[in-house]
Every structure is written in C-alpha cells, then in structure tokens.
C-alpha cells in the first residue's frame, strides 16, 4: 500500500518538472500532502496515538492545505506572474527528473537498505534532488520556496523509514516544516515582495565581489 | 541548570523584544551576561557529567563556551555604543538585542548538546536569530543578504537532517537515545560503512554553511557584510565555531570506523578549495567586511586541514579556532568604528586611518599581524602545527599548495590593510567628523592580547583542556 502511494509521489515529481503554472505547483503540493498523510497513516502504526494524531494533522492541515493556501495568498498579493519561467526547457527538466528518479532507484537497490526501507529511501532521495534541481532551474523566488517545501516532503518520507523507532526525528521534521515555512513565507516573502517587485532571482544579485 | 539557563535567557530575549526603554534594555543585557558567565562557571564544575540528559559539557564544549562568553561581552558593549549614535526606532533596537541574546543562548546550547538532533535544533535557532540580525538595516541590500542566508542555511540544515536520518537508518532497530553522541561513538565500529559515508557527506556539507567552507560558505559572507559590525563579529567567530562543533562531533563518530581516511580526504578537499577561493576573492575584494569574511574562510580551511591531517593537527585545529575567534571578532568590532568615521566599507575610500583614530589604527595593525599569523601572534603557532601535521601525513603537494595560497593571502591582506592605515583617502567632506573614543577600543585590545598570550605562553589548564578535547577523537 505504502509502495503505491510512494510511486504516485514519484509521479508527482515528473508532473512537477513539466508543469508551467505556479498554481499547478500548489495543487501538486496538496496532492503530495495527502499522499504523505496516507503513508503516515499506514506506516506509523506502532506510534502512540497522540503523536500519530499530531503528525497526521500536520500532514493534512499544514502540508496539504495551509502552505499551498499561504503561497497562493502571497502570489496574489504580490501579483506574481503565473508562469514558472524555467531557465531550461521543460523537456530537459523532464529528462533530468527521470534520470534523478532512476539513479535514486538504482542506488536504493545497490545500497544495503533493509528491504522495507528501500522505497522510502529511493523516493526521498529523488524528491530532495529533484527539489534542488528545480531550485537552480527556475527563475522566481516563490518557486524556490515551493521547491523548498518539496524537499521538506522528501525529508518527511525519509523520516517515515525510521518513524516507528525514533518518533522524535519525525516530530523534528514536522517542526522544521512548520517553523521554517512560516518563517520563510510569513515574515520574509512579504518583505521581499515589498522591495523587490518582480520576485525574480535576477534582482538578487547586487551583493557580489 | 541548563534548562534554567534556557528558560531565563529566552525570557530575557522576549522581554527585550517587547521592551522600549533604553535603561531596562541595558539592565536586561547585563543580567543576561551574568547568567551567561554563571552558566560557564557552572558547566566547568560538572565537566563530563550529563546535564538534563541531552547536554554534556565535555572539554570541547567548555573551551568554546568560555570563548563565546568572553567574546559576547564586548559584542554587547559595542552594541550599545554602536547603535546609540544611530537613530534606530526602539522597536528595531529591541528586535536586535533580543536576537543577539537568542543567538548567544542557542550557540551555548548547541556547544553543550550531547545529542545529534538537539545540536541540530539549536543550530536551526541560530539561523533564525542570525537572520533577524542581518535584517537589521531593513534596506534592499540587507533583505537580499537575509533571504540568501535563510535560504542557503535552511537547505544546509535539511542536509544535516537527512544525514541524521541516514544515521538513524543505519542503526537499524535502535531507539532514539542511541542518537546520543556517546552511544553513536560506541556503536560506530559496528555500523555499515556505506551509511556512515553517506551520512557524513550530508552532515558535513550541511554544516559547512556555518563552518564557512566550500560548498555552502557563500551565504555567510553576505550575512557578515550586511549585519551590523558587532553581530558580524559574532558571525565570523562563534557562529563559525558551531559549524566546527557539528563537524567535530561527526568526526568523533567517523574516527572510530574504517571510513576515517576517506572522510579525511573529503574534508581536505573542501578545505583546500576553501583556501583557494579565499585567496582568489581576497585579491579583488573591495569591501573591508567581506575581506575579513573571506579571511575567515581561509582560517576555517586551515582548521579543517588540521582536522583532516590528524596527529598534532587535532590540537592545532582547536587552538587555531579559539585564537581565530578572538582575533577576528576584535577586527570586526573595529570595522564598526571605521564605518563610523568614513561612512563607507569600501577600502579605496578609507585611508590615513592612523590620523583619524590612533588607537583603532594600532589595533588594526596588530590585528593584521594576528590574522596573517606572523610570529608574535598565537595563530602562528597553531598554523605551524597544522603544517607539521600535514607534513607528517606525507601530503607534500597539499602542503606546498597551501603555503603558496597563504602567501598570496598575506600579500592581498597586507595591501589592503596598509592602504587603509597609511595611504591618504580620496578627499571627502565629512571624514573624521565623528570621533571614536580610545576607551571603546580597550575591549578589542584585550581580545588581541588573548591571542598573543594563549598562543605564545598558554596556561597549563588551557593546554590540558585542549588535550582532553583531542582525547575525544583519539582514545
């Protein structure tokens, strides 16, 4: 069951690579949040009930609803154009994403991962490196934030692999998610939006040597 | 005790955030410094005993905690006379001071932490409080620097978190107490080398954002440039030490496994690239704060080389990081005065400093001697020991490369420092209108005196402490 959810998660990465509207990115984040909810529900059965409820709530409320809504608000408020504006063609993005997923899969097969952990390891690595690739290949600051959330989702999947033994780490991942997303988005993107109108990374190159 | 300290400091930080009165803020700051000193003394009395389960003051933590306390006192003093001439609103000032307290608190807790995840939490808090300090000026430049700093540090800390998770996977059916450093060190020889390697790469790459090495050093440079001078002094010294602590703890684990030589190569490559980048940028840098920041990158490269070479290099690395902390923070505090007098950070518009501020100029000269590791400076001793350890590790090519690059760096720094001190500045109207009292320079001289004293004739307890810290790696 979890394997199917994780495979769907990997497919969202492929869709991410060819999506050309910011709103599509946000819908994908919502889908990913729901998938993570499913994974946590099925997988973390050994965890105590309060902690589990907290994590499930976080995946649904924060990951699937709050963060996409908030980013949507920021986009509307700063009147950011809805195209993603990548530096590379979508086709190249798709190829690179496919290669990353394939490499992560091969690595998980080669490495000495416990059998139950393999899908987590592969999908988490793929999400992290795809997120990094999207960050360097997209122009807008807001897409950087979206890709950061994507990386967080990848980390959340990885933390599921040790979730039953070390619930502390899963909680820490959640903490990172809430804390940094709120900090990045809430306080800062508003300020960046006020000063830098276009929300384009090219505006962020005045400090240099 | 540490729990009480954390509660007290966070309360003080919150009060400073909401406080609008100048007198109360001074009182709160003094109170915080007293608590900080109290914690330092207390931790010495319970050396190597667990404090509140997740904290343990071992030798390295004690050394760096003491250094932090010593540096934070002048940082707070400078903050007062640095900010007072500027017309910041009380709200902005409150945020600045609260963030400063929070930063020092988080650094102390991160040094003392005995659990890999707890270290990570407090390093995360240093990122948040440091970004509030970078944001202090609230202009386009500081927004850009803050954005880059938060973003790069957040990504780096996600890397560290991935590394911790991978370590967790490698432990198999372990419980979360097994992520205590002591347990990890004990279990290290039994762990799978593949997992140790991949976890080490992620954790090392993540902590380089704080440590100031390739690949993640960039954000730190911008932050030190845009933050107010006293905060930049902390960023360039004690905040880099927290990255060192993160790497050192991981090194404790790696040192007990067979991947040690491989990890040493990884660190050595990162260190050599850092020194190379520092040398290249120092040749063309025009901004005095960025110049000092790149010099920090170079020194951290030397520290990492000591760590990678092993042997006497361990001792040298710890000594070097302590002395560098004092020297670099003193210079950054002095840059605050320079900025007051010249209203610019551009080296080409700064000149004849000896004429405008004699005490500060002498300090700048002594600081130059310190950070270029010329003989009376303590950094000379530690750098010499690092070179010896590289020599003993038979890495002759690396040694020659480092020596060549350091020569270039000394030349570049010398060119800029002597330009600032002796060459006349292009005439501008208002240079020297603001006088800096020599009294404000005293604390900086004390810091530099520590560099000379601890390097040339270190007291026995200091040497013993460093040896204890080295023991953590080699027993």
Q: Tens digits of per-residue pLDDT, B440-453?
A: 889 999 999 999 99
pLDDT at position B380 is 94
Picking from B12-21, B109-118, B422-431, which range would have the lowest pLDDT averaged per residue? B422-431
Q: If pLDDT is split at 50, 70 and 90, which confidence band does B265 have?
A: very high
The phi, psi pair for B426, rounded to 5°, reads -60, 140
Going by C-beta distance under 8 Å and a sequence separation of 6 or more, which residues neighbour residue B141?
Answer: A206, A207, B226
Statement: residue A185 has pLDDT above 60: yes
Partner-chain residue, chosen from A155, A180, A204, that has the shortest CB–CB distance to B144: A204
**pTM over the 0.90 mark:** yes
pLDDT at position B225 is 92
CB contact under 8 A, B154 and A132: no
Q: How far apart are CA B133 and CA B115, in angstroms?
A: 27
Q: If pLDDT is split at 50, 70 and 90, which confidence band does A191 have?
A: low
Going by C-beta distance under 8 Å and a sequence separation of 6 or more, which residues neighbour residue A46?
Answer: A164
pLDDT at position B195 is 87
From chain B, pick out residues whose CB is under 8 angstroms from the CB of A155. Answer: 158, 161-162, 165
Nearest CA in chain A to B145: A207
Q: How far apart are CA B171 and CA A122, in angstroms?
A: 18
Going by C-beta distance under 8 Å and a sequence separation of 6 or more, which residues neighbour residue B145?
Answer: A207, B134, B222, B223, B225, B226, B227
Statement: residue B85 has pLDDT above 60: no
Q: Tens digits of per-residue pLDDT, B112-139?
A: 999 998 999 999 999 989 988 998 888 8
Q: How far apart are CA A84 and CA B273, in angstroms?
A: 34
CB contact under 8 A, B194 and A111: yes
Largest separation between any pair of C-alpha atoms in chain B: 71
Q: How far apart are CA A43 and CA A41, in angstroms?
A: 6
pLDDT at position A46 is 76
Task: Give me Rg for the CA atoms of chain A.
Answer: 17
Mean pLDDT of B233-246: 94
Q: How far apart are CA A60 and CA A57, in angstroms?
A: 5
Domain boundaries defined on chain B: 1-256, 259-475
CB A5 within 8 A of CB A39: yes
Closest CA to A184 of B227, B217, B155, B140: B155
From chain B, pick out residues whose CB is under 8 angstroms from the CB of A180. Answer: 124, 154
User: Mutating which of B115, B118, B165 best tests the A interface, going by the most A Cβ atoms within 10 A?
Assistant: B165
Q: How many CB pairs under 8 A join A and B?
A: 104
Minimal C-alpha gap between B421 and chain A (Å): 22
Mean pLDDT of A3-25: 91
Closest CA to B382 of B446, B435, B321: B321
Query: Which helix (H) or strand (E) is B99 found in, with range?
Result: helix B90-112
pLDDT at position B161 is 92
Other C-beta atoms closer than 10 Å to the C-beta of B388 total 17
Q: Tens digits of per-residue pLDDT, B320-339?
A: 999 999 999 999 999 988 88
Q: Is A21 helix (H, G, I), strand (E, B) or coil?
A: strand
Long-range own/partner contacts, residues B424-431 (CB < 8 A, 24 or more apart): B424/B351, B424/B352, B425/B342, B425/B349, B425/B350, B425/B351, B425/B352, B426/B348, B426/B349, B426/B351, B428/B342, B428/B349, B430/B343, B431/B341, B431/B342, B431/B343, B431/B356
Using the 8-state DSSP alphabet, how is residue B215 labeled?
T
Other C-beta atoms closer than 10 Å to the C-beta of B374 total 12
Q: If pLDDT is split at 50, 70 and 90, which confidence band does A145 have?
A: confident
């Amino acid at each position: 069951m979890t394997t199917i959810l994780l495979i769907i998660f990997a497919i969202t990465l492929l869709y991410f690579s060819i999506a050309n509207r910011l709103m599509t990115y946000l819908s994908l984040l919502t889908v990913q949040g729901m998938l993570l909810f499913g994974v946590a529900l099925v997988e973390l059965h050994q965890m105590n009930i309060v902690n589990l409820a907290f994590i499930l709530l976080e995946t649904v409320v924060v990951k699937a609803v709050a963060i996409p809504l908030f980013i949507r608000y920021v986009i509307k408020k700063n009147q950011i154009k809805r195209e993603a504006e990548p530096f590379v063609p979508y086709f190249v993005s798709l190829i690179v994403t496919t290669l990353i997923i394939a490499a992560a899969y091969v690595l998980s097969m080669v490495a000495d991962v416990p059998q139950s952990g393999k899908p987590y390891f592969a999908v988490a690595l793929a999400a992290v490196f795809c997120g990094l690739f999207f960050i360097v290949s997209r122009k807008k600051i807001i897409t950087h934030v979206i890709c950061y959330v994507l990386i967080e989702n990848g980390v959340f999947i990885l933390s599921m692999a040790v979730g039953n033994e070390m619930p502390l780490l899963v909680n820490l991942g959640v903490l990172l998610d809430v804390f940094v997303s709120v900090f990045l988005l809430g306080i800062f993107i508003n300020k960046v939006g006020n000063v830098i109108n276009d929300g384009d990374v090219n505006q962020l190159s005045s400090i240099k040597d | 005790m540490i729990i009480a300290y954390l509660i007290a400091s966070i309360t003080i930080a919150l009060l400073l955030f909401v406080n609008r009165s100048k007198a109360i803020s001074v009182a709160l700051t003094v109170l915080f410094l007293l608590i900080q000193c109290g914690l330092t003394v207390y931790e010495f009395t319970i050396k190597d005993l667990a404090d509140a389960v997740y904290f343990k003051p071992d030798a390295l933590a004690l050394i760096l905690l003491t250094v932090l306390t010593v540096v934070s006192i002048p940082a707070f003093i400078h903050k007062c006379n640095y900010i007072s001439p500027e017309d910041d609103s009380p709200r902005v000032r409150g945020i600045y001071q609260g963030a400063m307290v929070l930063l020092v608190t988080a650094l102390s807790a991160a040094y003392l932490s005995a659990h890999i995840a707890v270290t990570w939490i407090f390093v995360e808090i240093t990122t948040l409080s440091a970004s509030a300090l970078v944001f202090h000026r609230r202009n386009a430049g500081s927004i850009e620097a803050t954005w880059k700093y938060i973003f790069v540090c957040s990504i780096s800390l996600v890397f560290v978190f991935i590394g911790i998770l991978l370590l967790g996977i490698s432990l198999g059916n372990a419980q979360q107490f097994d992520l205590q450093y002591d347990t990890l060190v004990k279990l290290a020889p039994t762990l799978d080398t593949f997992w140790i390697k991949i976890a080490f790469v992620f954790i090392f790459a993540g902590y380089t954002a704080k440590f100031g090495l390739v690949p993640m050093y960039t954000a730190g440079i911008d932050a030190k440039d845009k933050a107010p001078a006293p905060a930049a002094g902390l960023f360039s010294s004690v905040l880099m030490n927290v990255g060192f602590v993160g790497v050192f703890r991981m090194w404790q684990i790696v040192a007990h496994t067979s991947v040690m030589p491989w990890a040493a190569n990884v660190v050595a490559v990162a260190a050599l690239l850092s020194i190379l980048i520092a040398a290249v940028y120092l040749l063309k840098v025009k901004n005095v704060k960025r110049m000092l920041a790149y010099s920090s990158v170079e020194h951290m490269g030397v520290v990492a080389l000591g760590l990678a070479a092993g042997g006497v290099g361990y001792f040298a690395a710890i000594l070097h990081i302590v002395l560098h902390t004092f020297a670099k923070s003193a210079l950054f505090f002095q840059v605050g005065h320079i900025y007051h007098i010249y209203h610019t950070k551009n080296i080409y518009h700064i000149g004849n400093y000896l004429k405008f501020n004699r005490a500060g100029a002498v300090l700048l000269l002594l600081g130059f001697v310190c950070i270029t590791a010329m003989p009376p400076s303590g950094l000379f001793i530690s750098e010499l020991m690092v070179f010896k350890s590289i020599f003993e590790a038979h890495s002759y090519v690396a040694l020659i490369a480092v020596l060549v690059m350091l020569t270039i760096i000394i030349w570049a720094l010398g060119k800029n420092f002597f330009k600032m001190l002796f060459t006349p500045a292009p005439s501008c109207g208002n240079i020297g209108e603001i006088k800096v009292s020599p009294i404000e320079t005293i604390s900086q001289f004390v810091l530099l005196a520590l560099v000379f004293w601890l390097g040339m004739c270190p007291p026995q307890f200091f040497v013993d402490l460093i040896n204890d810290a080295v023991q953590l790696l080699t027993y």
